[in-house]
Amino acid sequence: MTRENAGLEARLAEQESFEPPESFVEQANVADEGIYDEFEENWPACWEQAADLLDWDEPYDTVLEDDDAPFYEWFTGGRLNASANCLDRHVENGAKNRAAIKWEGELGETRTYTYGDLLYEVEAFAAALRDLGVEEDDVVTLYMPMIPELPIAMLACARIGAPHSVVFAGFSADALATRMNAADSEYLVTCDGYYRRGDALDHLSKANEGLGDVEHEVEDVVVVDRLGDAMDHDLAGNQHDYGDLVDAHRGETVDPVSRDAEDMLFLMYTSGTTGQPKGVKHTTGGYLAYTAWTSHAVLDVKPEDTYWCAADIGWITGHSYIVYGPLALGTTTLMYEGTPDYPEKDRMWELVEKNDVDIFYTAPTAIRAFMKWGTEYPDRHDLSSLRLLGTVGEPINPRAWKWYYEHIGGGECPIVDTWWQTETGGMMVTTLPGINTMKPGSAGPPLPGIDARVVDAQGETVEAGNAGYLTVQKPWPGMLRTLYNNDERFLNEYWREYSDEEADEWVYFPEDGAKIDEDGFITVLGRVDDVINVSGHRLGTMEIESAIVGTEGVAEAAVVGGDHEIKGEAVYAYVIPEDGYEGGDDLEAAIVEGVEDAIGPIARPEEVVFTPELPKTRSGKIMRRLLEDIASDNELGDTSTLRNPEIVDEIAAEVQGN
Residue ranges that bind ligand WTA, judged by CB under 6 A: 270, 315-317, 392-395, 417-422, 443, 510, 512, 524, 526-527, 533, 538
Cα dihedral 31, 33, 37, 38 in deg (nearest 10): -20
Q: Convert 385-409 to b/e letters by CB count within 10 Å (16 or more is b).
A: bbbbbbbbbbbbbeebbbbbbbbbb
Least distance to ligand WTA, CB of residue 480, Å: 10
Number of residues that this document lists for the chain: 658
> Which of 56, 51, 80 is CA-nearest to residue 290?
51
Residue 284: CB minimum distance to ligand WTA, A: 20
Residue placing its CB nearer to ligand WTA in the complex, 121 or 394:
394
Q: Which lies closer to ligand WTA via its Cβ, residue 478 or residue 510?
A: 510
Give me the least distance between CB of 285 and ligand WTA, in Å please. Answer: 21
Smallest gap from Cβ 320 to ligand WTA, in A, equals 8
438 CB-contact burial (10 Å; exposed 0-12 / middle 13-18 / buried 19+): buried
CB of 282 to ligand WTA, least distance (A): 12
Give the H or E element holding residue 453: strand 452-455
Contact 494, 472 (CB under 8 A): no
Separation of alpha carbons 412 and 392, rounded Å? 20
As measured in angstroms, the least distance from the Cβ of 168 to ligand WTA is: 10
Minimal distance in Å, beta carbon 447 to ligand WTA? Answer: 13
- Three-state secondary structure string covering 152-198: HHHHHHHHHCCCEEECCCCCCHHHHHHHHHHHCCCEEEEECEEEECC
User: Smallest distance, Å, CB 639 to ligand WTA?
Assistant: 28
For ligand WTA, which is the closer residue by CB, 393 or 475?
Answer: 393
* Cβ 178 to ligand WTA shortest distance, Å: 17
Instruction: Give 297 or 575: the residue with its C-beta nearer to ligand WTA.
Output: 297
Least distance between ligand WTA and beta carbon 201 (Å): 24
For residues 167 and 267, give the distance between their C-alpha atoms in angstroms, rounded to a whole number. 10
CB-wise, 24 or 315, nearer to ligand WTA?
315
Output the smallest distance, CB 442 to ligand WTA, in A. 9
Amino acid at 558: A
Rounded CA-CA distance 624/22 in Å is 48
DSSP secondary structure string for all residues of 17-61? -BPPPHHHHHH-S---THHHHHHHHTTTGGGHHHHTTS--SB--S
> 486: which residues sit within 8 A by CB, 6+ positions away?
278, 279
- Report the nearest approach of ligand WTA to the CB of residue 275 (Å): 18
User: Which has the closest alpha carbon to 369: 403, 338, 321?
Assistant: 403
Distance CA(461)–CA(469), nearest Å, equals 9
Taking the complex as a whole, the smallest distance from the CB of residue 525 to ligand WTA amounts, in Å, to 8
Query: Cα(11)–Cα(49) distance, rounded to whole angstroms?
Result: 40
Q: What are phi and psi of 512, to 5 degrees?
A: -120, 145
Angle at the Cα of 162 (from 157 to 165), degrees rounded to 5? 80
Kindly tell me which of 31 and 602 has the beta carbon lying closer to ligand WTA. 602
Closer Cβ to ligand WTA, 272 or 340, answer by number: 272
Would you say 56 or 419 has its CB closer to ligand WTA? 419
* Distances from the Cα of 202 to the Cα of 90, 102, 149, 364, 389, angstroms: 37, 25, 17, 29, 34
Eight-state DSSP code of residue 602: G
Residues 6 or more apart whose CB falls under 8 angstroms from that of 263 comprise 137, 161, 283, 284
Q: Count how many Cα atoms sit within 13 Å of the Cα of residue 325 in the half-sphere of its side chain.
A: 30
Nearer to ligand WTA by Cβ, of 417 and 588: the residue is 417
Residue placing its CB nearer to ligand WTA in the complex, 127 or 522: 522
CB closer to ligand WTA out of 141 and 271: 271
CB closer to ligand WTA, 388 vs 576: 388
Please state the closest distance from residue 131 (CB atom) to ligand WTA, in A. Answer: 35
Upper half-sphere CA count for residue 613 (Cβ side, 13 Å): 15
Cβ-based nearer residue to ligand WTA, 190 or 533: 533
Q: Residue 77 or residue 520: which is nearer to ligand WTA going by CB?
A: 520
Contact 488, 500 (CB under 8 A): no
